[in-house]
Amino acid sequence: MADVFFLGTGGALATGERDNTAFLLRAGASWALIDCPGSVLQKIVRAGVRPVDVTSLFITHVHPDHVYGLPSLVHGLMLKDHVLRLFGSAETIDFCGRLLDLFGLWRPKYRTRVEFAELKPGKPAAVSGGVEVTGHRVPHHVSSLAYEFRLEDGGRKLVFSGDAPVHPALFERAEEADALFHDCSAPSRFFAQYPALASRHTSALDLGTWSERARVRTLVPCHFLAELDFPLSEAEAEIRAGYSGRLVMPADLEGFVIA
């Protein structure tokens, strides 16, 4: 069984090959969902996971492509006696509560219940199945948190950046991580062409350089921007120019075993 499923690996603009970025992470006997874009129930099932086995949800920030599937997820599970713990920053928790209110998803007919768990940046919290998570602020949006997971199984450390520019403090947290899943929105030539990208996202060239510096054991780039025309091989070559570790170029609905 895979440790992580790539439910989506693209940016805000979905394509026929890549949907919005989201992951399933195995946590003991249950699963954690990281971000919640559209059609998430279908993709969970296609990954071979029972939706009721997803017991926790981590929202990195409240841009639409990371959270707009939440009402659909709760609505689709309305007849299941299920509790979903939703983790995020204070801003994310507030937004998600209002989003569920908008659709009336607290009414008694909804047997799936959402429990909110606000994460204080830098303060670890227990999840389930021997998993501990720490949220870290990243400068993409006021609600943004990156997530550092510590797995009891082998003491492994996994870091998910969410959308993020190069943020030295996050790479310090990712030092010698067993796996880093990080924004890699485009090759560096687009960052030269559109300088504002660098304040919100990370280029392939910078990702390789910073990941090598942090001695990341396995690097998984994601959040490729379909608005910009480039072959994935170009991003891969730029990462490889600076990074010598294990590199996994992900595809949607593939599984991944952490070495």
* Angstrom distance (rounded) from CA 43 to CA 53: 14
Contact status, residue 153 vs residue 192, Cβ threshold 8 Å: no
Counting Cβ atoms within 10 Å, is residue 258 exposed (0-12), middle (13-18) or buried (19+)? buried
Kind and range of the H or E element at 240?
Answer: helix 232-242
Can you tell me which residue has the tokens 């990941």? 211
Can you tell me which residue has the tokens 């507030």? 94
Per-residue CA distances from 112 to 12, 15, 52, 75 (Å): 28, 31, 9, 8
53 is catalytic: no
Indicate which residue of 65, 163, 183, 252 is catalytic.
65
Report which residue type is found at 253: L
> What residues contact 117, with CB distance under 8 A and at least 6 apart?
85, 86, 87, 93, 125
Indicate the Cα dihedral angle 52, 55, 56, 57, nearest 10°.
10
Token pair recorded at residue 20: 């919005």
What residues are annotated to the active site?
65
